Structure 1
């Protein structure tokens, strides 16, 4: 029996141990899912919605315990962990609200003597592979709309946050979801790919690395199953000369450093107009220096460790590489005593004098560091923002909405923000371009990826 161990970044202790599912357990899970889905798809939508509503309530009933689990599993400060469940509920309830319209038949009444419509049928079994950085928010994006659409779901959560999958299962059980409609698997990488290659699931929703996305795409390519892939990011922000600098500093600083920078749509690179560059840099450095790095179980701490020490060292290496190439590290890491090589605890850092020859401006950091470049015009900022293999979100700080829309229309990205960042609105399509992936989660459009169209062409008069 192979044991999966979750090492807490708080103190490097073993926080969770779980046996990995063997081949027989995996097959039994797949068989139960297919059998359960055949019955679940026949359940009226209003009843499915009611079950999901009870599921949300069941999760929220355990909010304090879940928040503590999040902190111990992946390191987010306990003062911030409960907030994830608010976003979890917002997204789930939005998908409930739009389900009747999004899943309704598309009817065409322009031909007398014919009844014609397109019905949206569930795809079948959805395999959700979820990451650790926002364990509830990322999983709910796929799990809830899949269940509402009449699919069965098998959730493989990250080995860093396995308790999330178990919490989902318990809450669905309390909500009265029929057995087998939602299940989870603690399983390794190779077995997850094997499930996809076997063609016994009908859709895969994956959030993770670009390399992982390529592996899943190749495995899915051996069958005819569909995929939704949310992969890497290097999200930019642009501060125009007409921006509210105080607000830009606070919002972009939070977007870069919240959750120790471990956010899919966190701010990783900044372009600031030369007219406001100095004021912005001074403000951002002061903002970063004000963080309290420490044990995330303490209520006064507002930035905890990264999930893994090796990830923190990767960020340290990016900073060192940038400095060696001429950049300036503006935050004194020595003022954060817990920040030392080999530790998951790392101070927030602001880099000036950066350029796109540096890894920190090209490669995903997924940590609390941001490089800031001075630009002379919108044109220069647009060219630099597009100079990336990624495209999830981009943020523009300006007092001119028309300029934001004009600039945003030219940025190669899935979402454009004005005067905000690092946020996901469930009413809008969550999608990316280039190496960030493909497909859509959330919004009405998400249901198009979790259903298949079936056309009815009925001649009623002969």
Structure 2
């Protein structure tokens, strides 16, 4: 079987496999994106705007088809799959609307006289390595700002997502992208290493696991390539005594169990002050027990299967380890029978530092609920992680929420809502959650040359010499 294949996680059925790239195909792809970068970098801004606008229009026109593809590929419920297409559309439109302003020259005050401006120009051909959990959204937040910058894109998608990868490449082709501006490649891990090392590639953006990020960064570092890494997370969700426990629980369900919990910025560790702990846990478990798990193609389904049997096996091992060492599964806690990649919504309490579930990322529908005695203890537990992607705070006291937000070691903090995303909001983390930012104006600033253009003042002896 090929490395790149569509295996329906709801049934375990192999739908179709796709051949990996040959060495000749890799060379052709590199040549194509390198050539395109020379011309696309010089293309008028209006041409870039038109391309992104047309891409957004085609995503909208093909919404149902695109949603069905990722439901089949990685089990995303069809209603959430459609919303993912909508988010991708908003990102392409956002950069079409705002990209020209973000690229405007910045005039500098020069003490010695004359003029100086900083001009943003694309670096050239970039490699994007994208994950399976949000096949369209992740690509959009990399491709949209960088095509607006004048960079060209070589896109290596996850092996589980060949159909959506080809559908996106076709959209760019149909939108009139210049030859080589956006190229899909079904590359192996070994070929990816070769591509990163190639002088024609100027930078690499990866969204994926901590291990994959470290491997890519090591190769890129040896070859002095710029990287943006969006890696794992074990995001804390703090519920303070001042919070409304019922509202906090409803938000917690959305923050933990959307996309079957398979999101780097999903709430994963629920840290609850003792004054509202019992109420929060009651409301939370009641809401989690009501989650509809079933056929992801049914619009009424909130949670489908995990992305693969391998994902189920890994998650089950983490949960089994916790239970064997004394944790309690208030809900769920054992894999579901039958074919496919099914695991139930699970709530664990009594998780302690000797358990894998305490410190490891749980990439699936498992919530760990902790009880703490104070605000300081909540903050200390939240920060006691190697990850630092997102964090959420539930508090009715805005002064308290601001105080806690300042102390949390995270790239993103939300107050009184579950972590989310929007085209205009920067996305990224600290510590082992990654390097760099995507989305918003910051997403335009990673892979650019901030070129200084300095014009000296006229020489004093040049005045009046003409004529």
TM-score by length of 2: 0.95
Does 2:454 correspond to 1:457?
yes
Does 2:372 correspond to 1:391?
no
In 2, the alpha carbon distance for the partners of 1:164 and 1:266 equals 23
CA RMSD of aligned residues (A): 1.7
TM-score by length of 1: 0.96
Does 2:142 correspond to 1:142?
yes
Q: Deviations over 1:345-401 (max 9, x none)?
A: 110011112223221121011100011111111100000000000010000001122
In 2, the alpha carbon distance for the partners of 1:163 and 1:45 equals 31
Q: Deviations over 1:5-50 (max 9, x none)?
A: 2222021112232111111111111111111111111111122111
Could you say which residue in structure 1 is the equivalent of 2:195? 195
Does 2:233 correspond to 1:236?
no
Aligned-pair CA distance for 1:91: 2.1
Aligned-pair CA distance for 1:152: 0.5
Could you say which residue in structure 2 is the equivalent of 1:208? 208
Aligned-pair CA distance for 1:101: 2.2
In 2, the alpha carbon distance for the partners of 1:192 and 1:110 equals 44
Could you say which residue in structure 2 is the equivalent of 1:400? 397
Does the residue aligned with 1:413 lie in a helix, a strand or coil? Answer: coil
Does 2:449 correspond to 1:442?
no
In 2, the alpha carbon distance for the partners of 1:35 and 1:222 equals 24
* Partners of 1:268 and 1:361 within 8 A in 2: no
Aligned-pair CA distance for 1:2: 5.6
In 2, the alpha carbon distance for the partners of 1:57 and 1:461 equals 50
Could you say which residue in structure 2 is the equivalent of 1:16? 16
* Partners of 1:398 and 1:418 within 8 A in 2: yes
Does the residue aligned with 1:350 lie in a helix, a strand or coil? Answer: strand
Could you say which residue in structure 2 is the equivalent of 1:26? 26
In 2, the alpha carbon distance for the partners of 1:4 and 1:85 equals 22
Could you say which residue in structure 2 is the equivalent of 1:125? 125
Runs of 4+ more than 4 Å apart = 109-113
In 2, the alpha carbon distance for the partners of 1:341 and 1:377 equals 44
What does 1:389-428 correspond to in 2, within 5 Å?
389-428=386-425
In 2, the alpha carbon distance for the partners of 1:247 and 1:221 equals 46
In 1, the alpha carbon distance for the partners of 2:233 and 2:109 equals 45
Aligned-pair CA distance for 1:323: 1.6
Aligned-pair CA distance for 1:322: 1.4
Q: Deviations over 1:381-435 (max 9, x none)?
A: 0000000000100000011222111101111110011011230133222111111
In 1, the alpha carbon distance for the partners of 2:330 and 2:101 equals 51
Does 2:172 correspond to 1:172?
yes
In 1, the alpha carbon distance for the partners of 2:282 and 2:421 equals 28
Q: Deviations over 1:283-312 (max 9, x none)?
A: 111111111222212233221110011211
* Partners of 2:40 and 2:151 within 8 A in 1: yes
Could you say which residue in structure 2 is the equivalent of 1:340? 337
What does 1:27-176 correspond to in 2, within 5 Å?
27-110=27-110, 114-176=114-176
Specify whether residues 453 and 261 from structure 1 end up closer, same or farther in structure 2 by C-alpha distance, changes over 3 A only.
same
Does the residue aligned with 2:370 lie in a helix, a strand or coil? Answer: strand
Aligned-pair CA distance for 1:342: 7.8
Could you say which residue in structure 2 is the equivalent of 1:365? 362
Aligned-pair CA distance for 1:113: 5.1
Does 2:337 correspond to 1:349?
no
* Partners of 1:263 and 1:422 within 8 A in 2: no
* Partners of 2:195 and 2:201 within 8 A in 1: yes
Specify whether residues 342 and 317 from structure 1 end up closer, same or farther in structure 2 by C-alpha distance, changes over 3 A only.
farther
Q: Deviations over 1:40-94 (max 9, x none)?
A: 1111112211111001101111111111111000001123211111111122222
Specify whether residues 241 and 21 from structure 1 end up closer, same or farther in structure 2 by C-alpha distance, changes over 3 A only.
same
Pick which of 209-218 and 96-105 moved more: 96-105
Does the residue aligned with 1:120 lie in a helix, a strand or coil? Answer: strand
* Partners of 1:36 and 1:178 within 8 A in 2: yes
In 2, the alpha carbon distance for the partners of 1:273 and 1:215 equals 39
In 1, the alpha carbon distance for the partners of 2:2 and 2:76 equals 28
From 425, 430, 455, the equivalent of 2:427 is 430
Specify whether residues 2 and 70 from structure 1 end up closer, same or farther in structure 2 by C-alpha distance, changes over 3 A only.
closer
* Partners of 1:312 and 1:343 within 8 A in 2: no
Aligned-pair CA distance for 1:110: 4.7
Aligned-pair CA distance for 1:460: 4.4
Aligned length, in residue pairs: 459
Pick which of 239-248 and 202-211 moved more: 239-248
In 1, the alpha carbon distance for the partners of 2:308 and 2:284 equals 26
Stretches of structure 1 that go unaligned for 5 or more consecutive residues are none
Does the residue aligned with 2:388 lie in a helix, a strand or coil? Answer: coil
In 2, the alpha carbon distance for the partners of 1:47 and 1:448 equals 20
